Amino acid sequence: MNKTLKKALILGGIGFAAGLLIGVSVFYITGVKGPNALKITDISPFELLIGGIYGAIAMGCSVFYDIENWSILRATLSHFLLTLLGFYAMACLQRWMKLFDMVFWISTAAFIIVYIIIWLSQYFSWRRQVRRMNLELQAMKQREK
């Protein structure tokens, strides 16, 4: 098994667990069956599975950023499209929305906004780390002289 696939499976497993946790949290926060009646047994295994699958897709696809011969644009578009399609598939399976109704468009807009915010925060974090490493390299070169 190659290194990228192995990392995708590991990250997918972590994402699956995170998806389960987020699904259970949303269930409790929204009070789906009333605040006094919520029990873990009220959540269907299907709902848990869907949340886990979506988490696995989102985390597993992050290995696109590790493919060295891919540009940041190609990795971002690939990750974005697969997570968006995964979101649509899972939301339709759960009957949260129908394709191309108002909820679809609102959810799409929210997904894009959240994706951009997360991507930008990661991008600036990586950029800061690269700058710090470059400064450290320059300092090391200066010490060698």
Render pLDDT for 27-54 as a digit per residue (tens, 0 to 9): 777 665 555 555 656 677 888 888 899 9
What's the pLDDT at 9? Answer: 93
Per-domain boundaries in the chain: 1-86, 97-145
What is the C-alpha radius of gyration for the chain, rounded to an integer number of angstroms? 20
pTM: 0.72
37 membership: H or E segment, kind and range? none
Among 83, 55, 65, 76, smallest CA distance to 4 is for 65
With vertex at residue 61, the alpha carbon angle to CA 49 and CA 65, rounded to the nearest 5 degrees, is 160
- Tens of pLDDT along the chain (145 residues) come to 688 889 999 999 999 999 888 877 877 776 655 555 556 566 778 888 888 999 999 999 999 988 989 998 899 999 999 999 998 888 888 777 788 888 889 989 999 999 999 999 999 999 999 999 999 999 998 988 7
Output phi, psi for 121, to 5 deg. -65, -40
Say if CB 70 and CB 79 are below 8 A apart: no
Cα separation, 65 vs 73, whole angstroms:
10
What token pair was written down for 55? 């988490």
What's the pLDDT at 26? Answer: 73
